[in-house]
Amino acid sequence: MALTNPRYLALVLKKVLRDLRQGWLSFGACVAMLALSVSLFLAFNSAAYSLKRSTESNYQKLHFLDFTLLVSNISQSALSRVSQIPGVASVQGRATSSIKVLLDPPSVPEFRSRSVDGLLIGLPFDRRPEVNDVYVEKGRYLSQARGEALLEARFAKHHNFQLGDSIRVSTFNGERRFSVVGLVSSPEYVWMATNPFDPRPMDKRFGVVFVSDSDAFSALGGSFYNEIHVRVAEGEDAESVQTVAEERMSPYLRRSSISREQQPSHALVLRDERAFQGLAAFFPVVFLTLSSVTLFSTLWQLVSRQRRQIGILMSQGCSPFDLLSHYLILGLIVGCVGTVLGVLIGVPLGHLATKFYTRTLGLPFVEIITPVTSLALIVLLALGLSFLAAWTATNRVLKLDPIKALRSEFKEGWAPRSETLLDRFLPTRLKFGLRNLLRNPGRTILSILGIAVSVAQIVMTLAIFDSQNETLGYYFSSVHRYDFEVQMDHVTGATSLPHVASWPETESVEYCLRRPATLVFNGQEVRTNVWGLEPKNELLRLYNKRGERVYVSSEPFLFMGPVQMERLGVQPGDAVTLSLNRNNADAPVFRFSIAGALHEPLANPPKLDLALLQQISEKSEEVPPGGINTLLVKAKPGMAEALQARLDAEEQFRRYSSPAETRDEVESLLRMLNASKSLILAFTTIFALVVLLGTTTMNVLERSREFATLSCLGVSDTKLASLLLIETVILWFFGFLLGLPAGIALGTEMMNSFQSQLLQLDLSLGLSNVFTTAVVSLLVCVAALLNGLLKLRSLPLTAATQDRFE
């Protein structure tokens, strides 16, 4: 083979370089597309892998639990019953209790003089816990039996707690004061969440305070643990160990045990890992496929253009295989450059994404790794596809007869034998545009696909943004119309409360009663809260899917959204049982019918009539008649701050939140998702530009003879440009037509993958965003055309009219 001859190889490489230089834009487009695909694949894969490794590393270093047993008052000595179970590596008893963290000044203004919910967790002060250790970010670990506290770092940061500050917490046994000696992070709160179905970050409104076991016991009012955290030995099956532990500790269990997968923070981390992996699998594969098609098309066109050259070389004795090797080398060079560039961009991009994410989570130990298998896979895939594209585009060289290659040929093409409807009715300019697109169906399909893919991804991204905005808008403007939601510690008779409605700052007040309840349907049990609302509720409105107002009824009906209905497995009209007192097995059970589904994208507890809930509460629990525990308050215009000050002044109204805070939390939850989508949006726009740049340039190059002829016939540059523009608009039109529904389908699919038991978004796409997509995609098409127009202006007319390439 001549390629083994260094001189010949040097010549081949010289020709390769010359071809690359001449078609730099088309090849540049191929390189750019390949680089985009490779980088996106690596970025998402590396982010998913690094996130997994980082959390694993944190779990390992801080001895994260494998499961938790929720027990009733167990002593230190009883822990040995668990530690003796084969396969158990370590056991840690813990006393935890719900508290209120009292936020004294100095704190953030919006939280002044208020309290937030929290958890007091006991830790041994004389040694580190064997399970669920904490990482001390600032300060030191506990060193004294009483009076010291470690504060979850993100909560501390939000509320300006510093080392040495004093923190007040309200416990069942009264108020306690601790001195903050350290700011820590815990593997239990990588995601600061207490409910695996509610991914809203709680680091602002939920304080985790670690104190010594003695202090925790004192807050609970005893010397007992109520949680046992277990770590399973390496190589042991956690599930079977958990089952044995449950059996052994069954007399002490107050609730079923919680596995690592059910642990709220870990469940949410797993959800994010899956989301990253989904992104890593879908988009790069689409991009990579289109990159290969573009390379195929570019090389196909190059072989066609160089047909005569090939004929000359063959007639001089060059073997078809040597000729083919030239094009394969060309394809591989493009593949290699694209892959290397993709790796160079993708690796740091993945690292950046990981850093951003782990910083958001506050993980102390971060491992940023680009998985070698992913790297090898994408490199092999990119090079393999480049080679395949080059081979399929150029192997016809092997069959080429040198005489045929040298001979000028008139390209045969389908044409109607008689006048068609197209001829009769279509304006001539449009007809030319359409016909030119049929000239090279492969390129036309590639262009349309490129536009369609880009439009689809833009539509998908915008539709998700639209859906989020619409949902949040609906939730916070139409449903939650109050300014403050005041939650009281105990159910109180409304008449015994300060008369908020008569405050000068108050526009309106509505009372609610919220109770923990157990709903049962067909043996399926769901523990949830239920809300009793006033009959003509205006401040927390209910709507059905059609947007019509729904009012709670004095009849025994439960109103819930699709998320709650799905959890319980009920349909409208089904009968469920409701019991209120979870601690009393003999608590009365009430039958309720499920009313028509509410439109509730963000899951809220089921609702019923306030009076009805008050009645059954009185029958089930020790609550005062007509009791309430929540106030929804709306301030008069411009008086929200004054109303807040009023609430702050009333001891029993100090625990309140505002929809704005909730919205802030939801938006913070969506930040990561939005960052990924923005990245995809940016890549998609570049991708569309690159595809179109490549195909438009090819279009002009292929038709240089035609354009030169038209120019000789007196068609001005402007008119030639308009001809190309018409073709581009037709391409865009078909691409848009395909891309729009594809984007909506893709968006629906994406939304489904991000649905949770809190959030159920329906895809919506505003007309303005359809218009924006249309305009942006058209502008990208026109921008891609500019290079073709520049080529047109510099077309050497005399040479181009003799060009034999059709």
The site for another protein (CB under 8 A) is made up of 408, 410-415, 417-419, 423, 428-429, 431-432, 435, 438-439, 705-706, 709-719, 793, 797-798, 801-802, 804, 806
- The least distance separating another protein from the CB of residue 782, rounded to whole angstroms, comes to 21
Q: How far is the CB of 23 from another protein (least distance, A)?
A: 18
> Kind and range of the H or E element at 167?
strand 166-171
Nearer to another protein, 495 or 718 (CB): 718
Instruction: Please give the span between the terminal C-alpha atoms of the chain, in angstroms, as a whole number.
Output: 33
Min CB(307)–another protein separation in Å: 15
Query: Residue 424 CB, nearest distance to another protein (Å)?
Result: 10
* Minimum CB–partner distance for residue 312 and another protein (Å): 18
CA-CA distance, 631 to 650, in Å (whole number)? 13
Nearer to another protein, 26 or 440 (CB): 440
All residues at 6 or more sequence positions from 702 whose CB lies less than 8 Å from its CB, including other chains: 301, 304, 305, 439, 440, 443, 805, 806
Closest CB to another protein among 435 and 481? 435
Give 373 or 418: the residue with its C-beta nearer to another protein.
418
Choice between 336 and 710, CB closer to another protein = 710
* Nearest of 474, 493, 476, 485 to residue 510 by alpha carbon: 485
Q: Which is nearer to another protein, 419 or 651 (CB)?
A: 419
Distance CA(147)–CA(211), nearest Å, equals 8
Q: Rounded to the nearest whole angstrom, what is the least distance from the CB of residue 437 to another protein in the complex?
A: 11
Closest CA to 383 of 426, 417, 334: 334
308 — alpha (psi -120 to 50), left (phi > 0) or beta?
Answer: alpha
Q: CB of 705: closest distance to another protein in angstroms? A: 7
Report the C-alpha gap between 232 and 368 in whole angstroms: 27
> What is the closest distance, in whole angstroms, from the C-beta atom of residue 48 to another protein in the complex?
50
Least Å from the CB of residue 431 to another protein: 8
Distance CA 386, CA 254 (A): 61
- The dihedral sign for the CA sequence 595, 519, 526, 537: positive
The Cα-based distances of 244 to 86, 165, 750, 778 in angstroms read 9, 44, 40, 64
Which is closer to another protein, CB of 469 or CB of 716?
716
Q: How far is the CB of 414 from another protein (least distance, A)?
A: 8
Shorter beta-carbon distance to another protein: residue 177 or 407: 407
User: Which helix (H) or strand (E) element contains residue 657?
Assistant: strand 656-657
**Which residue shows structure tokens 């994208």?**
601
Name which of 22 and 577 has its Cβ closer to another protein.
22
Nearer of residues 404 and 719 to another protein, judged by Cβ: 719
Closest to another protein by CB, 80 or 410: 410
The two structure tokens encoding residue 738: 């395909």
Report the residue number, 138 or 435, with the smaller CB distance to another protein.
Answer: 435
Tell me the residue length of the chain: 806
Name the residue nearer to another protein (CB basis): 3 or 725: 725
Q: Which of 51, 55, 48, 53 shows the shortest CA–CA distance to 281?
A: 48
Could you tell me the sign of the dihedral formed by the alpha carbons of 662, 667, 668, 673, in that order? positive
Name the DSSP class of 602: B
Q: How far is CA 362 from CA 51, 351, 471, in A?
A: 12, 16, 28
Minimum CB distance to another protein, residue 397 (Å): 24
User: Do 586 and 638 form a contact (C-beta atoms < 8 A)?
Assistant: no
Nearest residue to 707 via CA among 446, 440, 436: 436
Of residues 26, 36, 52, 225, the one with CA closest to residue 123: 225
Structure tokens at 31: 């390189």
CB of 724 to another protein, least distance (A): 14
Q: How far is the CB of 461 from another protein (least distance, A)?
A: 39
Q: 């290079």: which residue's tokens? A: 787
Q: Find, among 763, 771, 772, the residue nearest to 744 by Cα.
A: 763
* Closer to another protein by Cβ: residue 143 or 716: 716
**Would you give the distance in Å from CA 677 to the centre of its chain?**
8
Q: How far apart are CA 540 and CA 520, in angstroms?
A: 26
CB-nearer residue toward another protein: 140 or 407: 407
The 10 Å Cβ neighbour count of residue 450 is 29
Question: Of 775 and 790, which CB lies nearer to another protein in the complex structure?
Answer: 790
What is the chain's Cα-based Rg?
Answer: 34
Please enumerate in sequence order all residues whose Cβ is within 8 A of that of 248, keeping only pairs 6 or more positions apart, or say none: 81, 82, 85
CA angle 641, 643, 649 (to 5 degrees): 105
Q: Least distance in Å: CB of 332 to another protein?
A: 29
Shortest reach from residue 432's CB to another protein, in Å:
7
**Residue 763: what residue type?**
L
Residue 698 Cβ vs another protein, minimum distance, rounded to whole Å: 17
Amino acid (1-letter code) at residue 335: G
